[in-house]
Amino acid sequence: MALLISGFCLLTVTERVTKAKHIQFLSGVYVPVYWLSALLWDFIIFFITCCLLLGVFKFCQLDIYITDYHFLDTLLIFMLYGWSAIPLMYLLSFLFTRSTSAYIKLVLFNYLSGIFSLLIDATIRFEVQHKMSKATRDFILNLLLLFPNYNLAKCIDDYFTFYQIKKWCSGNKPPVYLNCSKENTAKNVYSLGEKMIGKYMIIMSITGFICLFLLFFLDTTLWKLRTFLSQYVYFGIYKTFKKEKVSKELSGESDDEDVQNERQRILEQPQELPNSAVLIKELIKIYFKYPVILAVKNISVIVQKGECFGLLGFNGAGKTTTFKILTGEETITSGDVFLEQFSITKRLQKVKSRVGYCPQTEALLEYMTGREIMIMYARLWGIAEPQIQLYVNRWLNSMQLELHADKLISTYSGGTKRRLSTAIALMGNTSVILLDEPSTGMDPGARRLLWNAVTWTRERGKAVIITSHRMEECDAFCTRLAIMVQGKFVCLGSPQHLKNKFGNIYILKIKVKTDTQEDKLNDLKFFITLTFPGSVLKNENQEILNYYIPRKDNSWGKVFGILEEAKEQFNLEDYAISQITLEQVFLIFANSENTEEKKKK
């Protein structure tokens, strides 16, 4: 029983840790539906196993549990045990982050709690009965009722004893030490008296309800409780003791004009901005651990319908935390987020059902095939049954997953899993799509498919928010983007706007002919430095020189003209002048972040 019952924690741990459970909640699954459907399925498995066990009882001639319809009683005992123990396993599974260690530890828990509770029971009843007060004895015995394994063992034991006594008493020569009075043998085994099983069965029934209630509580009300604690208790204390840090780092003021304008626009307007899909208003997220981490430092932004918003930043900038808040996985410390005018702090369920989410790690159920999981999500999104095949095929096709559709997900490569996760995020009937580094591990072909799918989704009026470390990707399909540094937005605008704003330099690439003498090369370098004051030689390799040239006082025409003349003079094979790339804008902030870090140290 310990081996069987502990096995029911395996899926719940895996689905919670991989976030598959979270994605199911986002796809519209209600918390009670999730747990009750899991319980129903596990209960069916448990029922079948118990029927087999009854077969074993029969084979081993344990007739008391089988004959005269007693197998129904035995089955009822087993079922009540399943009703109490399976939800308890679900509840305990929250303590673990790995399914295998959860299984091993819960097997030990079930095994030992069964054995030791019986030993304690026997010791108290027979050995030390007279050495302790009745109140203490009752207290310990009542405490043992918390363990379903103890209740099961007691039911099985007392049931056997009751009918064995009945059997002996109805025989010709009952043993003299037995109390075979009518009063004793005519009792109902389900009554609440001593040596009867009624009490244990009632406790098992109640345990099941309590565990289910706690499960629903953990997945619903606990979030509200954590939000309350975070917003009013921890943050309140933090503000009292770190006034200066809060006013300096969490004020939301920005040196950047665009970031400041966006914030001002949001603060001045009513919450219900008509066309906005996502409205992030003065969002602060602090992880109250040791040391305290200010992950998101008062950011405000609006993402409109039909917009693809890129959230860029270095590792640890706070992008994933922002996504987790948008999907209701993490609580808000201060501020609010509105999805289609529904506040996440007040209407979490409404918000959740509007988000398609591709998390940073794969939230896939690996024991299913790609097609099966997509059919499952299509059903969860409420696609009509006759259209499901067509719908799923279309999304499989959009990410070119047809070849892998009928293979187990556990056999997929990293890039294929990523494609499947993205397809799942995009396929729902949502208004906001959050893609956390969707192209990680994808080959160039798959990346192009992703871009097409995202563009198509955006054009259908959905808002897409994407994080990526690939600048060319964001440049290609983000309508607007923000760069996040240490939890704050440092710039905001369309890719072109940012390149214009921060690109006060040209990139000049010069390739000299292979037979160019050293002296000639030095002359060229001297010429560039003299002609374009403030130019910087960024790097030089294999006859290629890379320069940053200030835009001030240097128009495109002027630079081209000078280089055309220099081509002959300095034996140049070729040259190219380009505008700064998004990646270089990003690196400007990387340098400023490093400088700030050094200053702090």
Ligand X SMILES: Nc1ncnc2c1ncn2[C@@H]1O[C@H](COP(=O)(O)OP(=O)(O)OP(=O)(O)O)[C@@H](O)[C@H]1O
By CB under 6 A, what part of segment 295-354 binds ligand X? 295, 313, 315-321
Return the SS3 of 285. strand
Choice between 295 and 427, CB closer to ligand X:
295
For the beta carbon of residue 73, count every other beta carbon within 10 angstroms: 19
Choice between 359 and 503, CB closer to ligand X:
359
Please state at what angle helix 444-459 crosses helix 388-398, rounded to 10 degrees. Answer: 130
What is the C-alpha separation between 185 and 271, in angstroms, rounded?
74
Choice between 108 and 590, CB closer to ligand X:
590
Q: How many residues in the shown chain lie near ligand X by CB under 6 A?
A: 13
Least distance to ligand X, CB of residue 424, Å = 20
Least distance to ligand X, CB of residue 486, Å = 8
By CB under 6 A, what part of segment 359-378 binds ligand X? 360
Which secondary structure element, helix H or strand E, spans residue 180, and what is its range? none
User: Residue 77: is it exposed, middle or buried by C-beta count within 10 angstroms (0-12/13-18/19+)?
Assistant: buried
| Strand stretches in 476-568, DSSP E | 480-485, 488-493, 505-512, 536-541, 544-550
> Which distant-in-sequence residues (6+ apart) come within 8 Å of 454 by Cβ?
308, 426, 433, 435, 464, 466, 477
Choice between 308 and 311, CB closer to ligand X:
311
430 binds ligand X (CB under 6 A): no
Choice between 234 and 548, CB closer to ligand X:
234
Distance from CA of residue 213 to its chain's centroid?
23
Choice between 87 and 318, CB closer to ligand X:
318
**Which of 402, 464, 411 is CA-nearest to residue 433?**
464
- Count the residues in the chain: 601
Nearest position to ligand X, beta carbon: 320
Choice between 307 and 436, CB closer to ligand X:
436
By CB under 6 A, what part of segment 270-299 binds ligand X? 287, 289, 293, 295
Choice between 117 and 320, CB closer to ligand X:
320
Least distance to ligand X, CB of residue 466, Å = 12
In this structure, what token pair is assigned to residue 511? 């390739």
- Per-residue binding letters, 235-274, with ligand X (x by CB under 6 A): ----------------------------------------
In this structure, what token pair is assigned to residue 572? 């140049």
Least distance to ligand X, CB of residue 408, Å = 28
Least distance to ligand X, CB of residue 254, Å = 18
- Per-residue binding letters, 381-410, with ligand X (x by CB under 6 A): ------------------------------
Choice between 295 and 582, CB closer to ligand X:
295
Least distance to ligand X, CB of residue 333, Å = 12
Looking at residue 312, what DSSP letter applies? Answer: E
- Per-residue binding letters, 105-144, with ligand X (x by CB under 6 A): ----------------------------------------
Cα atoms found within 13 Å of the Cα of residue 590, Cβ hemisphere only: 11
Least distance to ligand X, CB of residue 469, Å = 7
Least distance to ligand X, CB of residue 71, Å = 51
The three-state (H, E, C) secondary structure of 414-470, written as one string:
HHHHHHHHHHHHHHCCCCEEEEECCCCCCCHHHHHHHHHHHHHHHHCCCEEEEECCC
**Which of 590, 597, 600 is CA-nearest to residue 490?**
590
Least distance to ligand X, CB of residue 423, Å = 22
Choice between 293 and 577, CB closer to ligand X:
293
End-to-end CA distance of the chain: 58
Q: Which residues bind ligand X (CB under 6 A)?
A: 287, 289, 293, 295, 313, 315-321, 360
